[in-house]
């Protein structure tokens, strides 16, 4: 896929030809807290939006919407701050793919948890599956969304290389993960494990309430680390979707079963025991497979095995 300039009006400067369309309110005063049962984190959260336009791929017609020759991807960037300034050093990047009918902030409390742990989180708004999609939100454009994720990764890595970008030097290109929820989980399965559409820059994948839905071969010869999380009472995407994906995937792979949880009940980034399990185990996994912290695996086992709340299957 071709890398094309971002378009827009006034705002933050990006790479040559890239302009941030809008700068959102900075949340540097967000209270810090313990990101996991591991080391205490003390970062605040700040964010802004970049809009990327891919001129190499179209947006199809959708209901009353006639379609477009390009794909426009507003992308919310949330990043850690310390003492009101961006946290120093190049940070791991998480690209988060949200579900059908969701907004960019539907899972903000959860992905802010990752930001407080020191990760940069980018959330693209997919052209036709978001809550404000022209012609109405639809899952019918799923086959285009893996390309959207890869395109956004390309743009963000270009930005971190550019001295003109606000993201200059902020992202470690060797530490890229994708996380998806629901339709977003279906999307990241294609980014991580489809033989045809896999993005080799992705070093870890987290699928929350997902299944493998794309055509063609998956997992064959691919050993990118995988974390699955799914509630046993999910009536939207069947629990068996993650069971089957775990069985098919190559190690290292992990499966957190959320006992009695529905499609959305454990992913709000709150204080319910199941929400805490999701928060902690996702950070444990990312710390191990993006940051190389071997202690992350021991923490994942401890944080994911909570009597009456969750269990973990693991094939490291």
The pLDDT of residue 75 is above 50: yes
Measured in degrees and rounded to the nearest 5, phi and psi for residue 111 equal: -75, -20
- If you count them, how many residues does the chain have? 316
DSSP structure string for 4-69: -----SSS-B-STT-B-SB-PPP-TTPPP---SSSS----EEEEEEEEEEETTSPBPPBTTB--BS
For the segment 19-63, what is each residue's pLDDT rounded down to a tens digit?
333 333 223 333 333 333 444 467 999 999 999 999 999 999 999
The pLDDT of residue 4 is above 70: no
**CA-based nearest residue to 149, from 52, 292, 259:** 52
Label the pairing between strands 44-54 and 71-82.
Answer: antiparallel
Q: Residue 112 has what pLDDT?
A: 96
Q: Span 132-141, mean pLDDT?
A: 97
Dist CA 75 CA 152 (whole Å): 8
Which long-range contacts (C-beta less than 8 Å, at least 24 apart) are formed by 136-142?
136/62, 136/63, 137/100, 137/101, 138/62, 138/63, 138/100, 139/100, 139/183, 140/60, 140/62, 141/59, 141/60, 141/62, 142/183, 142/186, 142/187, 142/213, 142/214
Please list the alpha-helical segments (H only) found in 162-307.
183-193, 239-248, 273-289, 295-304
**CA-based nearest residue to 266, from 289, 291, 232:** 232
Dist CA 73 CA 15 (whole Å): 16
Model confidence at 214, pLDDT cuts 50, 70, 90, reads confident
For the segment 239-261, what is each residue's pLDDT rounded down to a tens digit?
999 999 999 999 999 999 999 99
The pLDDT of residue 6 is above 80: no
The token pair at 39 is: 């080391």
Fold classification of 44-315 is Rossmann fold (3.40.50)
Q: Residue 22 has what pLDDT?
A: 30
Q: Span 69-80, mean pLDDT?
A: 98
Dist CA 303 CA 215 (whole Å): 34
Q: Residue 39 has what pLDDT?
A: 46
Model confidence at 170, pLDDT cuts 50, 70, 90, reads very high
Considering the chain, what is the average pLDDT of its residues? 89
Sign of CA dihedral 116, 117, 122, 125: negative
Radius of gyration of the chain (CA): 18
The whole-model pTM stands at: 0.88
- Compute the 3-state secondary structure of the chain and give helix, strand, coil in percent, each to the nearest 5: 25, 25, 50
For the segment 93-128, what is each residue's pLDDT rounded down to a tens digit?
999 999 999 998 999 999 999 999 999 999 999 999
Dist CA 242 CA 230 (whole Å): 7
């Amino acid at each position: 896929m071709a890398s094309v300039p971002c378009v827009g009006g006034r705002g933050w400067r990006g790479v040559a030809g890239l302009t941030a369309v809008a700068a959102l309110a900075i949340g540097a005063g967000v209270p810090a807290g313990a990101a996991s049962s591991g080391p205490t984190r003390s970062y605040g959260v700040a964010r802004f939006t970049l809009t990327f336009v891919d001129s190499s791929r179209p947006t199809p017609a959708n209901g009353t919407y006639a379609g477009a020759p390009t794909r426009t991807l507003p992308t919310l960037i949330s990043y850690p701050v310390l003492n009101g300034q961006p946290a120093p050093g190049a940070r791991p990047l998480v690209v988060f793919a949200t579900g059908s009918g969701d907004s960019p902030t539907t899972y903000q409390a959860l992905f802010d948890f990752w930001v407080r742990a020191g990760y940069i989180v980018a959330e693209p708004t997919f052209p036709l599956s978001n809550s404000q999609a022209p012609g109405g939100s639809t899952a019918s454009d799923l086959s285009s969304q893996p390309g959207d994720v890869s395109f956004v990764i390309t743009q963000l890595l270009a930005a971190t290389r550019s001295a003109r970008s606000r993201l200059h030097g902020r992202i470690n290109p060797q530490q890229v993960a994708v996380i998806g929820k629901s339709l977003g989980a279906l999307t990241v399965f294609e980014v991580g494990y489809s033989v045809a559409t896999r993005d080799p820059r992705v070093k870890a994948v987290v699928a929350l309430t997902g299944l493998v839905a794309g055509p063609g071969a998956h997992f064959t010869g691919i050993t990118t680390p995988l974390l699955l999380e799914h509630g046993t009472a999910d009536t939207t995407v069947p629990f068996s979707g993650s069971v089957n994906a775990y069985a098919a995937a190559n190690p290292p792979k992990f499966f957190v079963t959320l006992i009695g949880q529905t499609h959305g009940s454990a992913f709000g980034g709150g204080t319910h025991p199941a929400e805490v399990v999701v928060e902690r185990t996702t950070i444990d996994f990312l710390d191990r497979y993006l940051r190389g912290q071997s202690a992350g695996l021991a923490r994942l086992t401890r944080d994911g095995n909570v009597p009456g709340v969750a269990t973990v299957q693991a094939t490291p």
